[in-house]
Amino acid sequence: MIQAIRGMKDITPDETPYWHVIEETIRRVLASYGYREMRTPLLEQTELFSRSIGEVTDIVEKEMYTFIDKNDRNSLTLRPEGTAGCVRACIENGLLHNQTQRIWYTGPMFRHERPQKGRYRQFHQVGVETFGFDGPDIDAELILMSASLWQALGLFDLTLEINSLGSSENRAAYRETLVEYFSAHHQQLDEDSQRRLHSNPLRILDSKNPDMKTLIDSAPKLFDYLDEESKEHFSGLTSILDQAQINYTVNPCLVRGLDYYSKTVFEWITDKLGAQSAVCAGGRFDSLVEHLGGKSTPAAGFAIGMERLFELVKEQVQPNHLPHAYLIMTSQGAINKGLLLAEQLRKGVPGLRLVNHCGGGSMKSQFKKADKSGASVALVIGDDELSSNTIAVKFLREDKDQQHLSQEELIQMLSNYV
């Protein structure tokens, strides 16, 4: 038996209604802030990610699904994240010249990681990107908008952590100090941190190894290396969050594994998903547009892991997906009439979810399937209904007597369920 690739999960019909609620809520909230959707390809030139994410990051070194295209022999990669592709699309389509943009996108991403709860090799993200805004007000808007989303989904126990990475010059100076500090404690570093020491030392601060907590807590702090502009930017952000009564914690160890981040970074985290605590991560990436060939453009955004969000909200949301009615037909003549009637009912009652019974069977077995479907009512057409030109209505979830209605009366009744 052929099975799904490890780390690539099917989303079954029982789960998709919950995804629909989450996705529709996200669309509604983002639209209320003036964000517009963009759709980009799953495949991009490998160079796009090696230039934007960084050659020495775990994503580029170990996690990307990369292959040589058969025709032109270009190296192609299934997108491991969405920001680089969004920036490439904005540059290519002329969306950034003397313009500001608020953009969002959603879809699958691909990374060859160790699968665990909330983490898959094909996973889904919603990404939000802004371009042309250089002040802390847009950083605050992103955080306030994400907070509005949690409220709309009924999530009230996510916590916000923020930090500033400063400028590239700040990080370069800090990097040297950090390498010197961790080199002096080389024996206390785990294998992963030893590997990152000279390639990406800031990621050591993000280690989840509890044995390294004391060492990391005692490390020099990036905030001490920030220039005045970065400090003022961060102060402006915290001032807005304070006035908006958004609770947050400044986490000096909150960093990014991607090279393009600068100044503000933030995460919404939970303690309900094990090691995968971050549900939403974002920040500024002011140098990325220029790095990918565009003109210098300030930018900021965030990404939400949809599988992690699904795990959190599946007990909170009530998807409206069950059929309103189930049509039972007891003879060939009833089938002929019933199929046409069902089409007329769907047109007459916009939004009606009506399931036709197919495959024959006794009336008893059809009623069992109608009840199992979750429908509110069963509509029955038999020989008596054909003779009287009516439809029998049996209420499956209410204590009401069976009724016989004309088509016009049935349309009026079904409208009350939609």
Tell whether 217 is covered by a domain. Answer: no
Q: Taking residues 144-173, what's their average pLDDT?
A: 93
User: 24 to each of 19, 204, 306, how far by Cα in Å?
Assistant: 8, 37, 13
| 56: pLDDT strictly greater than 60 | no
For the ranges 37-51, 219-233, 262-276, the lowest mean pLDDT is seen at 262-276
Q: Taking residues 149-167, what's their average pLDDT?
A: 94
DSSP string for residues in 181-200: HHHHTGGGS-HHHHHHTTT-
* Residue after which a domain boundary falls, among 313, 336, 356: 313
Q: Is the pTM of this model over 0.85?
A: yes
Query: Could you report the per-residue pLDDT of 287-334, keeping only the tens digit for each?
Result: 999 999 999 999 999 999 999 999 999 888 888 889 999 999 999 999
Do 124 and 109 meet the contact criterion of CB atoms below 8 Å apart? Answer: yes
Q: Which of 1, 104, 89 is nearest to 45 (CA)?
A: 89
Q: What is the pLDDT of residue 117?
A: 67
Tell whether 299 is covered by a domain. Answer: yes
Question: Is the same domain home to 338 and 271?
Answer: no
Question: Is the same domain home to 261 and 365?
Answer: no
* The pair of three-digit structure tokens given for residue 74, joined into one six-digit string: 């270009």
Q: What is the pLDDT of residue 192?
A: 84
Do 108 and 10 meet the contact criterion of CB atoms below 8 Å apart? Answer: no
- CATH (domain of 152): 3.30.930.10
Q: Taking residues 21-26, what's their average pLDDT?
A: 96
335: containing domain: 325-415
Q: What is the pLDDT of residue 1?
A: 92
Q: What is the pLDDT of residue 70?
A: 86
What's the rounded Cα separation, in Å, for the pair 256 and 225? 17
More confident residue, 237 or 120: 237
How many independent structural domains does the chain possess? 2
Mean pLDDT for the chain overall: 91
What's the rounded Cα separation, in Å, for the pair 106 and 129? 12
Do 195 and 304 meet the contact criterion of CB atoms below 8 Å apart? Answer: no
| 388: pLDDT strictly greater than 60 | yes
Q: What is the pLDDT of residue 168?
A: 83
Question: Is the same domain home to 106 and 33?
Answer: yes
- CATH (domain of 388): 3.40.50.800
What's the rounded Cα separation, in Å, for the pair 148 and 412? 37
Residue with tokens 């099975």: 3
| 261: pLDDT strictly greater than 90 | no
Longest CA–CA separation in the chain, Å: 93
Beta carbons within 10 angstroms of residue 123's beta carbon: 21
Tell whether 249 is covered by a domain. Answer: yes
Question: Is the same domain home to 368 and 336?
Answer: yes
Tell whether 288 is covered by a domain. Answer: yes
What's the rounded Cα separation, in Å, for the pair 338 and 346? 12
Q: Taking residues 203-227, what's their average pLDDT?
A: 88
Question: Is the same domain home to 329 and 368?
Answer: yes
What's the rounded Cα separation, in Å, for the pair 132 and 177? 33
Query: Could you report the per-residue pLDDT of 351-363, keeping only the tens digit for each?
Result: 999 999 999 899 9
Q: Taking residues 183-209, what's their average pLDDT?
A: 86
Do 325 and 417 meet the contact criterion of CB atoms below 8 Å apart? Answer: yes
